[in-house]
Structure formats: C-alpha cells, structure tokens
Chain A
Amino acid sequence: QKEVEQNSGPLSVPEGAIASLNCTYSDRGSQSFFWYRQYSGKSPELIMSIYSNGDKEDGRFTAQLNKASQYVSLLIRDSQPSDSATYLCAVTSRGSTLGRLYFGRGTQLTVWP
C-alpha cells in the first residue's frame, strides 16, 4: 500500500517567518513529487514539483527531496497571511497509471499578521 504521511498541523507561524512542511512516503518507486495548495472550498493548486534529489527554488518556495530517506519538504520563506491554506503532498508511483497521484492528508498552515 502506498502511503503518504504529512504532519497534519495545524501549523501556525507569524508573518515573515519560514514555514516548514514535511512529507514522507512509503513507496521507493515514487518518481515525481508535488506540493499543492488548497484554500477552503477550492480545488488544489500546484505550487511546486520536484523530480530529483536536492533543492528546487521558485520564488518564496523551496522544495527539498531526499529519495534515500523518502522525504520531501516545502519551505515557505517570508510567509504571508495569503499563504494560509492546506498544503497537500502528492507523489506518483512507478507502475501506476500516468498521472495517478497519492495524496497525504494535508497540513493546515495559518500565517498570522
């Protein structure tokens, strides 16, 4: 069974701080890793994708992947109240239908002014 685990939070950080979101996955065959942001009542929105070990930066967001540890994280620098949302970690798996994602339960982030 392919499992994706996230610390469910809620995670609360002050405006301007760094928010750190973590995710572990069980399937060593996982090849693609995604972070989605979901506002209440809305569908998920892709924030970051990462496919190889190391860091990937995009603006205030940095994704980190460590396949040996089966760990992927998302750092949000200079957090803003508009970043308050649920962040979903999702992974693909070798052998699964292309595009089939396995989701974690999400981490609820609150950024307070």
Chain B
Amino acid sequence: GAVVSQHPSRVICKSGTSVKIECRSLDFQATTMFWYRQFPKKSLMLMATSNEGSKATYEQGVEKDKFLINHASLTLSTLTVTSAHPEDSSFYICSARNPRGGNTGELFFGEGSRLTVL
C-alpha cells in the first residue's frame, strides 16, 4: 500500500482562492519532504524542500508567498497555493525519504494532486 499519502487527489477552485494540499508519510517519520510540480508532458520540477520544524527551502523562481509550505510534524507537510490563478493549474506531487534506508533510503511519492483553477 501507499507509504506517502497525498490529499486531495483532485481539486477545482475559483481564481483568487487558496488551496491546501496535504502530504503524509504513513509508516515512517520524514524530517524532509519535497514538493514537485509537473506540467503536461514535462518532467517534475522541484519547488521546495520542506523541513520539519523550520522554514522550507525554495528553488529559484518559486514564490515563497504564493506557495506556502508548512511541515509541522514528522509525518505531515502541507502546500498552500494562495490566491490561485489559472496558470497555477498543474499536477503537484510530494515525496518523502524513508530514513531507515540510510543515505540511500528509498524515496516515496504521494499520489499527486491535480489542481485546476478556473
């Protein structure tokens, strides 16, 4: 079964509203989670690294105030798309590394969240 759960899997919202996406590690604690964005027929682009108990690290070009990341516990990270616009419509995917695997611990992906902004 899934070891990283993402919710919601699909969301449609009106322009200007905010949307929260949750990413949970189900049977391990993840001090670090990663948030990716994927446009149709494109590869995954890392948006930010979510760090438990501290601020997220954003990739160049990603607006911190627009994509709010909170990693309040060892099993939950949230991504909030604030004041969403149609250009924010995309497939958002989180991932987490199982630390039990050591430095080569396997990385697990959530199921992804398809955001459509009208």
A and B together in one complex: yes
A contact residues vs B (CB 8 Å cutoff): 32, 34, 36, 41-46, 49, 51, 88, 97-101, 103-106
CB of A106 within 8 A of CB of B43, answer yes
Q: Is B106 part of the contact surface with A, judged by Cβ < 8 Å?
A: yes
- For A106, the chain B residues whose CB sits under 8 A away are 43
- Whether A99 contacts B105 in the complex (CB less than 8 A), given A43-B110, A43-B111, A43-B112, comes out as yes
Interface of B is mostly: strand
Chain B, residues 10-23, CB within 8 Å of chain A (1/0): the string is 00000000000000
Which residues of chain B are near A41, meaning CB under 8 Å? 91, 114
Q: Do the beta carbons of A88 and B111 come within 8 Å of each other?
A: no
Contact A51 B43 (CB under 8 A): no
Contact A32 B104 (CB under 8 A): yes
Task: Name B84-118 residues within 8 Å CB distance of A.
Answer: 91, 93, 95-97, 103-112, 114
Q: Can you name 9 A-B residue pairings with CB atoms under 8 Å? A: A36-B109, A43-B110, A44-B109, A45-B109, A88-B43, A98-B32, A98-B103, A99-B105, A100-B46
Q: A41-B114, A98-B97 are in contact. Are A49 and B32 (CB under 8 A)?
A: no
A44 touches B104 (CB 8 A): no
Contacts of A43 in B (CB 8 A): 6, 93, 109-112
Give bound CA distance, A88 to B49, whole Å. 20
Instruction: Tell me the smallest distance from the CB of A22 to a CB of chain B, in Å.
Output: 15
- Cβ-defined contact, A42 with B43, below 8 A: no
Partner of B107, one of A101, A104, A105: A101
Also in contact, A99 and B44, with CB within 8 A (given A43-B93, A43-B111, A51-B104): no
